[in-house]
Amino acid sequence: MDPWSSETGDYSKVFSEFGVKKYSSGDIGHRFFRRKIVVGERDFHLILEKIKAGKKFVNVTGVTPSGRNHLGHYGIMEMFKFFKDKGGKNYFAVADIEAFSTKQKFSKIEELKEMTLNNLANYFAMGLEKKDVYLQSDYQSRYYSFGYEIGRRITENMFKSVYGSMDSGKFSSALLQFADILHPQLSEFEGKMPSITCISLDQDPHARLSRDMAVRLPYDFYTPSFLYIKHLGGLRQGKKMSSSEPETGIFLDDSDLEIEKKIAKAVTGGKQSLEEQKREGGEPEICKVFELLTWFEEKDKEVERIRNDCKKGKWLCGECKKHCSDVIKKLVGGHRKRIPSARKKAEKFLS
Amino acid sequence: MDPWSSETGDYSKVFSEFGVKKYSSGDIGHRFFRRKIVVGERDFHLILEKIKAGKKFVNVTGVTPSGRNHLGHYGIMEMFKFFKDKGGKNYFAVADIEAFSTKQKFSKIEELKEMTLNNLANYFAMGLEKKDVYLQSDYQSRYYSFGYEIGRRITENMFKSVYGSMDSGKFSSALLQFADILHPQLSEFEGKMPSITCISLDQDPHARLSRDMAVRLPYDFYTPSFLYIKHLGGLRQGKKMSSSEPETGIFLDDSDLEIEKKIAKAVTGGKQSLEEQKREGGEPEICKVFELLTWFEEKDKEVERIRNDCKKGKWLCGECKKHCSDVIKKLVGGHRKRIPSARKKAEKFLS
């Protein structure tokens, strides 16, 4: 499993061998739970208990700045916002050093600044506040010194057994993720507290090693909890939605026309001919348009109707793409409206 | 060559193979130059030019906190103070993260705090000011992010070819040294400027790789200059003066009685019998007591007199040890008097 790859893969091993549990706590108030986009968890009961008791827990996530944010990022952000609204103590890492460490095209961290600004504007537009967010490259010294405390406990063998290979970029990147996830439990921050981080299954190596570290470090930490959400597939087969491959995804700054065009070209579960589809029905399970609807169509009933009608051949790709375009244009359009003031906030944050 | 070892070694290779030049610029105002304690240099002419022109240069050194500071540290400190007085822009790194990264006995950086306090008191007692000093674990975020910029450019092979092997502790430690030496030339600090760092010959691997980095990084840096000073030998044969072996060294918090006792037991260049020594003379070249005098006796003439009289058998070990004790007791005694107020300054600095 390579958390740095942009290919999708077979993640059955994380359940069968690495101890991720199938998610089974039902809906706690977000469509991602109802639609089985949340697929797995580690120690999620710790967080559920805190939420039920109205007690504090750490809500921590990191996103590496990328040229443009796509709907996959939007999903991760929604989950972060969800746990913020549930009362979490928020630590949203803008992982600029991590991005720098793994992407060779940048020669100075400074070069990520425009990117970071764009991304921050998106986060603020989605309801995060300045106090919820930190920039890895401009954070408190305790965070960095803690990173060295973690680093000293990672051996080359330990690293290679989890990640397959070790180089200084991967090492830095992993180290920062462990520091991001664990530092809120230091006494200088919140102190010992359960924490929740939403990741995709391919990020599980980071989760495993950060849980390992929580136990090895000379601090009294809760082992961090994780929720696993599916990857939002790209619009073509076999790819994640990825910033480095713009044609595979829908971006938060796409125009309405771009959205329409991309969805029009998306891989569907439709048949070769209209007649065949009307007769045999479509396959929503493999349809990229239906996947988008599963993620972003607000109404559960509408999702079910579409699934059923598609299978029966009563709801065809043309009208489905049109409907999906409307859903996504509404979402992206609402976001677009909130950007100008969010961008000002982001500029102030970075200056 | 292992810069993390406490054994002394053969450093002829750093001259013949690795490009350190014999120091040949004469005395510029400190006995270490006159007494050939300064033995080598890299690009020292850059610093000489700045000093002569009354222009700015960076004065940068790092010392890892250790239980107690000994006279070897005192020598390094004296050189730093010397370049401060020559007009340097001062960056004295209290290398607590580095100490943590290489010493397994500490499990948290916090555990080094008492040690750091003691050492800082010594630095302040020697004439450094708060603005000259920074703590690695509590510094500006730009220093840390710069460390990641360096780290990404170090390959495993590059590291192994210089240091022989790579582990996360050594890697962290080396990275911090490069950041210490190079960060003052960033625009956020002094900007491009020649820099001088005094090190011992066994630290040359760090110097080489930091010079290599200065060229590889996407910044307009001067290649940093270095002065190489001899190790102050321990009081026994073949050892550096080392904090981890208290019987080998004289410490800045030793009492007068301890100083007398340690010098009385030191290895000398004396002969088996008094008669033999009077007849054949002693060997100041191999004498630990004479070495101490070479470092710390203020009067050049007195050092020469002792060397000559010793060789002629006219100045014997007993009177020499007595004289050396007086010199060191005066130095340590003066330092001791300045400690109480320096310690207060250090406490304030760390709080």
The beta strand positions in chain A, using DSSP E, are 21-22, 38-42, 58-63, 89-94, 133-135, 195-200, 225-229
Nearest CA-CA partner of B152 in A181, A99, A95: A99
Q: Which one has a higher pLDDT value, B248 or A343?
A: A343
For residue A107, give the chain B residue with the closest CA. Answer: B218
User: From its phi and psi, is residue A172 left (phi > 0), alpha (psi between -120 and 50) or beta?
Assistant: alpha
Percent with pLDDT over 90 in chain B: 77
Query: Using only C-alpha atoms, what is the Rg of chain A?
Result: 21
CA dihedral B133, B139, B143, B147 (to 10 degrees): 100
B18 touches chain A (CB under 8 A): no
What is the C-alpha end-to-end distance of chain B, expressed in Å? 38
Contacts of B97 in chain A (CB under 8 A): 145, 148
Angle at Cα A14 formed by Cα A89 and Cα A104, nearest 5°?
A: 70
The pair of three-digit structure tokens given for residue A73, joined into one six-digit string: 């990022």
Task: Spell out the alpha helix ranges (H) of chain B.
Answer: 12-16, 31-34, 44-53, 71-85, 96-102, 113-125, 141-151, 156-163, 168-182, 204-216, 256-264, 274-280, 288-296, 300-311, 317-350
Distance CA A334, CA A256 (A): 12
Mean pLDDT value of segment B259-280: 95
Residue B351 Cα, gap to closest chain A Cα (Å): 14
Phi, psi dihedrals of residue A41, rounded to the nearest 5° = -160, 160
Burial category of A351 from C-beta neighbours within 10 Å (exposed 0-12, middle 13-18, buried 19 and up):
exposed
pLDDT reading at A50 higher than 60: yes
pLDDT at B267: 94
Mean pLDDT value of segment B29-41: 96
The pair of three-digit structure tokens given for residue B208, joined into one six-digit string: 């080489």
DSSP one-letter code for A219: S
Exposure b/e, B269-292, CB count within 10 A at least 16 = b:
bbbeeeeebeeebbebeebbbbbb
Question: pLDDT band for position A80 (50/70/90)?
Answer: very high
pLDDT at B18: 85
pLDDT at A12: 79
Helices vs strands, H then E, count in chain A: 15, 7
- Spatial CB neighbours of B220, under 8 Å, sequence gap ≥ 6: B192
Distance CA B269, CA B39 (A): 22
For residue B6, give Cα distances in angstroms to A286, B39, B63, B233, B245: 64, 20, 15, 11, 9
For residue B251, give Cα distances in angstroms to A75, B7, B230, B237: 61, 19, 18, 18
Stretch among A228-242, B133-147, B220-234, B270-284 having the lowest mean pLDDT:
A228-242
- Whether residue A141 and residue B144 make contact (CB cut-off 8 A), yes or no, is yes
B138 touches chain A (CB under 8 A): yes
HSE toward the beta carbon, residue A198, CA cutoff 13 A: 25
Contacts of A101 in chain B (CB under 8 A): 148, 151-152
Q: Which one has a higher pLDDT value, A234 or B38?
A: B38
Helices vs strands, H then E, count in chain B: 15, 7
Mean pLDDT of chain A, nearest integer: 93
- Spatial CB neighbours of A249, under 8 Å, sequence gap ≥ 6: A70, A71, A72, A234, A235, A241, A242, A243, A262
Contacts of A140 in chain B (CB under 8 A): 141
Minimal Cβ distance to A154: which of B107, B166, B168: B168
pLDDT reading at A216 higher than 80: yes
The pair of three-digit structure tokens given for residue B145, joined into one six-digit string: 């992010």
CA dihedral B89, B94, B100, B101 (to 10 degrees): 10
Q: What is the pLDDT of residues B58-94, one digit of tens each?
A: 999 999 988 899 999 999 999 999 999 999 999 999 9
Contacts of B169 in chain A (CB under 8 A): 151-152
Nearest CA-CA partner of A44 in A229, A263, A206: A229
Contacts of A171 in chain B (CB under 8 A): 168, 171
Maximal C-alpha separation, chain A: 67
- Whether residue B154 and residue A171 make contact (CB cut-off 8 A), yes or no, is no
Stretch among A69-78, A79-88, B14-23, B52-61 having the lowest mean pLDDT:
B14-23
For residue A102, give Cα distances in angstroms to A93, A147, B56: 16, 17, 37
The pTM for the full model equals 0.90
The pair of three-digit structure tokens given for residue A62, joined into one six-digit string: 């990191």
Distance CA B34, CA B18 (A): 25
Minimal Cβ distance to B151: which of A141, A156, A168: A168
Cβ neighbours of A165 (radius 10 Å): 9
B151 touches chain A (CB under 8 A): yes
- Whether residue B109 and residue A168 make contact (CB cut-off 8 A), yes or no, is no
Q: What is the pLDDT of residues A124-171, one digit of tens each?
A: 999 999 999 999 999 999 999 999 999 888 887 888 888 887 777 888
- Whether residue A149 and residue B109 make contact (CB cut-off 8 A), yes or no, is yes
Minimal Cβ distance to A97: which of B148, B154, B171: B148
Q: Answer for the pair B166, B154: CB distance below 8 angstroms, yes or no.
A: no
Distance CA B18, CA A318 (A): 71
Question: pLDDT band for position B119 (50/70/90)?
Answer: very high
pLDDT at A288: 96
Nearest CA-CA partner of A294 in A45, A31, A111: A31
Minimal Cβ distance to B145: which of A137, A155, A171: A137
- Whether residue A109 and residue B149 make contact (CB cut-off 8 A), yes or no, is yes
Strand pairing report for A38-42 and A21-22 = antiparallel
pLDDT reading at B299 higher than 90: yes
The pair of three-digit structure tokens given for residue B224, joined into one six-digit string: 């940093």
pLDDT reading at A253 higher than 60: yes
Mean pLDDT of chain B, nearest integer: 93
Mean pLDDT value of segment A10-31: 89
- Spatial CB neighbours of B1, under 8 Å, sequence gap ≥ 6: B9, B11, B13, B14, B202, B204, B205
Strand pairing report for B225-229 and B38-42 = antiparallel
Contacts of B107 in chain A (CB under 8 A): 218
Contacts of B166 in chain A (CB under 8 A): 156
Q: Which one has a higher pLDDT value, B169 or A6?
A: B169
pLDDT at A9: 63
A149 touches chain B (CB under 8 A): yes
pLDDT at B3: 59
Distance CA B58, CA A87 (A): 49
B152 touches chain A (CB under 8 A): yes
Q: Answer for the pair B168, A171: CB distance below 8 angstroms, yes or no.
A: yes
Nearest CA-CA partner of A95 in A181, A189, A205, A198: A181
Nearest CA-CA partner of B2 in B202, B242, B210: B202
Distance CA B334, CA B74 (A): 13
pLDDT at B8: 58
- Whether residue A148 and residue B101 make contact (CB cut-off 8 A), yes or no, is yes
Query: Using only C-alpha atoms, what is the Rg of chain B?
Result: 21
Minimal Cβ distance to A108: which of B137, B141, B218: B218
A166 touches chain B (CB under 8 A): yes
**Sequence letter at residue B215:** V
Minimal Cβ distance to A148: which of B142, B166, B172: B172
Which residues, listed in sequence order, are joined to residue B60 by a DSSP beta bridge?
B91
pLDDT at A8: 58
Q: Which one has a higher pLDDT value, B223 or A203?
A: B223
DSSP string for residues in A277-295: HHHH---GGG-HHHHHHHH
- Whether residue A97 and residue B154 make contact (CB cut-off 8 A), yes or no, is no
Nearest CA-CA partner of A235 in A300, A271, A288, A308: A288
Sign of CA dihedral B253, B254, B256, B257: positive
B149 touches chain A (CB under 8 A): yes
| Residue whose tokens read 């950041």 | B179
B169 touches chain A (CB under 8 A): yes
Q: What is the pLDDT of residues B219-267, one digit of tens each?
A: 999 999 999 999 898 898 777 787 778 888 999 999 999 999 999 999 9
A169 touches chain B (CB under 8 A): yes
